[in-house]
């Protein structure tokens, strides 16, 4: 249903399959292509479905844009093959089709068979295992190339998106079976932690890409708001008291948290960014303040969020991706490489301090997501109203 010229009109009926809940009257935006697909994949899909050849700046770029390069980048593990393939010329290989089949198979387990556990297990394997490809040298000799998905590869991004949702659904299923039992509480807590970590990783990764491709602003807005919601949901879990490990755990309350005094995001949000004129300098200022705060908070809690075994162990920082250039190869070739960051618990006096930091990070994510939505839809968008409602419940807007 849409409103055109003051009157309601009905468009074509569609069936939505969503990996997150859709509330009644919530606005749903539909695009004809996935902006997180690389160039070759986008163009192929547009032509096969719509007989349409896109000639936008991103599709016409030669060589491919930084974003499209990242979306199809791989990590070569055996260096003798590294000069024979890269993300730019590797994409058409049948191996990529197999990886997409693995991704879709896992997502199908989740959406069609209501089996988030199997989905998560398959995606964790897809992200962590070595993949093989056979290369043919000019002299006819075969080389077995080993590689892993780059953290910004489009398959990786879609895996993060699905894992964040599937782990969250698993939490609900576990607690529905036994909401009071310590064993289920512990498992649910760890799954909620993984959901928060993958939500933050997805938002941070796409924010990195947004810096070079402004068309991502709508999905990135949603990813930051989802990250904020997931972090706040994790902070509220009663199971925190099961993990004191001998520390004194104070009763946690949102009202006791001191809102960030380093940035003006909350004040601007209270004013609905009405003084914002969408000029590059102002946009850059808000983004700079946000990134300054989250890059300060995240290292203090990321070790705790990724404490469980799995793919998250190789991700050194979900916001600042400078580590990709030098350290990813080390982690890719040596899964048991020692971590620079501790569990997060060792660096803090108690869980209460960790929860405060997680709370502050969640608030920043929500506000920045709302800010990005105002750039596209104005200060009265439904996304803005949703964040206002969430922050009002937490008492954050009353200060």
Give 153-209 pLDDT, tens digit per residue.
999 999 999 999 999 999 999 999 888 888 889 999 999 999 999 999 999 999 999
Burial of 193 (0-12, 13-18, 19+ CB in 10 A): buried
The predicted pLDDT at position 267 comes to 87
> How far, CA to CA in Å, does 393 sit from each of 122, 172, 333, 388?
37, 22, 46, 9
The predicted pLDDT at position 277 comes to 61
Share of the chain above pLDDT 90, in %: 48
The predicted pLDDT at position 330 comes to 40
The predicted pLDDT at position 336 comes to 42
* Residue 397 DSSP code: G
d(CA 74, CA 146): 10
The strands making up 142-149's β-sheet, listed across from edge to edge, are 74-76, 142-149, 131-136
d(CA 136, CA 139): 8
The predicted pLDDT at position 331 comes to 41
Given a contact cutoff of 8 angstroms between Cβ atoms, the answer to whether 331 and 314 are in contact is: yes
**What six digits make up the tokens of 323?**
């580590």
* Residue 93 DSSP code: S
Low-confidence ranges of the chain (pLDDT < 70): 1-20, 29-30, 79-93, 243-258, 274-279, 326-350, 394-399
d(CA 307, CA 344): 8
Given a contact cutoff of 8 angstroms between Cβ atoms, the answer to whether 275 and 160 are in contact is: no
How many other CB atoms are there within 10 angstroms of residue 97's CB atom? 11
The predicted pLDDT at position 261 comes to 82
The predicted pLDDT at position 71 comes to 95
Per residue in 257-313, pLDDT tens? 667 888 989 888 888 776 666 567 888 999 999 999 999 999 999 999 998 779 999
By C-alpha distance, which of 237, 224, 166, 199 is closest to 386? 224
Share of the chain above pLDDT 70, in %: 77
3-state DSSP assignment of residue 157: helix
Residues 6+ apart with CB under 8 A from 282: 276
How many residues are given for the chain? 399
Given a contact cutoff of 8 angstroms between Cβ atoms, the answer to whether 221 and 383 are in contact is: yes
d(CA 93, CA 86): 11
The predicted pLDDT at position 274 comes to 67
């Amino acid at each position: 249903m849409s409103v055109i010229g003051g009157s309601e009109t009905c468009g074509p009926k569609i069936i939505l399959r969503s990996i997150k809940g859709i509330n009644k009257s919530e606005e749903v935006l539909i695009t004809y292509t996935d902006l997180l697909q690389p160039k070759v994949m986008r163009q192929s899909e547009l032509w096969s479905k719509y007989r349409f050849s896109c000639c936008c700046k991103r599709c016409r770029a030669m060589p491919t844009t930084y974003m499209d390069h990242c979306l199809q980048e791989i990590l070569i593990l055996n260096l003798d093959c590294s000069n024979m393939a890269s993300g730019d010329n590797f994409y058409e290989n049948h191996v990529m089709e197999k990886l997409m089949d693995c991704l879709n198979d896992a997502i199908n387990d989740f959406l069609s068979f209501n089996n988030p556990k199997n989905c998560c297990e398959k995606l964790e394997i897809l992200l962590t295992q070595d993949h093989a490809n056979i290369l043919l040298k000019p002299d006819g000799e075969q080389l077995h190339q080993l590689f892993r998905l780059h953290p910004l590869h489009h398959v990786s991004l879609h895996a993060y998106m699905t894992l964040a949702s599937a782990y969250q659904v698993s939490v609900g299923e576990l607690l529905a079976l036994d909401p009071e039992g310590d064993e289920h509480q512990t498992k649910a807590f760890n799954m909620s932690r993984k959901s928060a970590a993958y939500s933050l990783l997805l938002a941070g990764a796409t924010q990195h890409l947004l810096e070079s491709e402004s068309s991502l602003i709508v999905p990135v807005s949603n990813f930051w708001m989802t990250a904020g919601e997931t972090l706040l949901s994790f902070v509220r879990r009663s199971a925190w008291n099961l993990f004191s490990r001998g520390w004194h755990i104070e009763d946690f309350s949102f009202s006791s948290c001191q809102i960030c005094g380093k940035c003006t995001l909350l004040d601007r949000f209270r004013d609905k960014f009405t003084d914002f004129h969408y000029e590059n300098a102002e946009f850059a200022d808000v983004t700079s303040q946000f990134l300054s705060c989250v890059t300060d908070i995240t290292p203090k809690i990321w070790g705790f969020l990724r404490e469980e075994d799995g793919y998250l162990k190789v991700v050194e920082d979900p916001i600042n991706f400078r580590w990709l250039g030098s350290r990813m190869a080390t982690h890719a070739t040596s899964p048991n490489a020692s971590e620079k960051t501790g569990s997060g618990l060792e660096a803090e006096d108690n869980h209460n301090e960790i929860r405060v930091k997680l709370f502050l990070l969640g608030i920043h994510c929500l506000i920045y997501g709302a800010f990005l939505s105002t750039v596209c839809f104005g200060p009265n968008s439904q996304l803005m109203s949703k964040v206002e409602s969430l922050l009002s419940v937490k008492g954050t807007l009353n200060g």
